[in-house]
A = this chain, B = another copy of it.
Amino acid sequence: MDDQTDQTRKPRADAVRNRERVLEAAKVVFTAGGPEASLEAVAKRAGVGIGTLYRHFPTREDLFEAVYRREVEQLSELAEQLKNAKDPVDALRRWLRSGVEFVATKKGMVAALALAVQSGSELHAFSFERLTKAISSLLDRAAAAGAMRADISPEDLLRAFFGMCYMHDQPGWQSSVLRMLDVFVDGLRVQTAAKAKVRAAKPAKTAVKRKR
């Protein structure tokens, strides 16, 4: 399926080269300047015209996704590995912690996750699906083992995780997030002894009056 089928031309060499250059430049620029960085700066750094950049990546998101696709894949693969860990809850915890590390290392990762999570457009289907599946595999196993509540969807978790990482530019964010994740995972855990009904988690009416 890789060969050009029928009357499709071989892609032009310069096109391939330029695409690669843009990606490389984007990686650098996004890492330094965040996801808001100027696309013109990317083009300049890549040594191509702005038009070329836009031809290859019609939207900022397209470019962004292409840049961080690999990272997403890595996170996803990690989940695959963790699937076989003994303690399913701990596996999930580990995965989340690795996610934090990713964010810490690659500054653009948060934005990539944000993209994956936000805006349901087809463009991000890849990242979103990939990560959702990754989480899902961990979640399902833990739930099946009866070690974790089953009413939390992978999407929920992804969003929560991403959200927690969102303030990644503050001092001390990392340990804060790690703490929060622990709390969170604790909350997910089904307490073996806790078949007893507790008087706590009743729907807690949210109708709090608000003066306006």
Give Cα A193–Cα B190 distance, bound, in whole angstroms: 14
A200 contacts B206, C-beta separation under 8 Å: yes
Give Cα A150–Cα B85 distance, bound, in whole angstroms: 30
Within 8 A of B (CB), among A7-60: none
Give a binary string over A149-193; 1 marks a CB under 8 Å from any B CB, 0 the rest.
Answer: 111110110011011111101110100111110111111111101
Copies of this chain in its oligomeric complex:
2
Out of B74, B101, B152, B162, which one reaches A206, CB within 8 Å? B101
Which of A150, A159, A173 is packed against the most chain B CB atoms within 10 Å? Answer: A159
Say yes or no for A118: interface residue by CB 8 A criterion.
Answer: yes
Say yes or no for A196: interface residue by CB 8 A criterion.
Answer: yes
Instruction: State which of A61-69, A86-94, A129-137 sits at the interface with chain B.
Output: A86-94
Out of B93, B152, B166, B179, which one reaches A183, CB within 8 Å? B152
A119 contacts which chain B residues (CB < 8 A)?
Answer: 170
Give Cα A11–Cα B30 distance, bound, in whole angstroms: 46
Out of B117, B151, B164, B166, which one reaches A209, CB within 8 Å? B151
A208 contacts which chain B residues (CB < 8 A)?
Answer: 78, 94, 97-98, 101, 194, 197-198, 200-201
Q: Could you name 24 residue pairs across A and B whose Cβ atoms are closer than 8 Å?
A: A74-B210, A74-B211, A78-B210, A97-B208, A101-B210, A151-B210, A152-B180, A153-B176, A156-B176, A156-B180, A159-B177, A160-B164, A160-B180, A163-B165, A163-B167, A166-B166, A180-B184, A182-B187, A182-B201, A183-B188, A186-B186, A191-B203, A193-B205, A200-B208
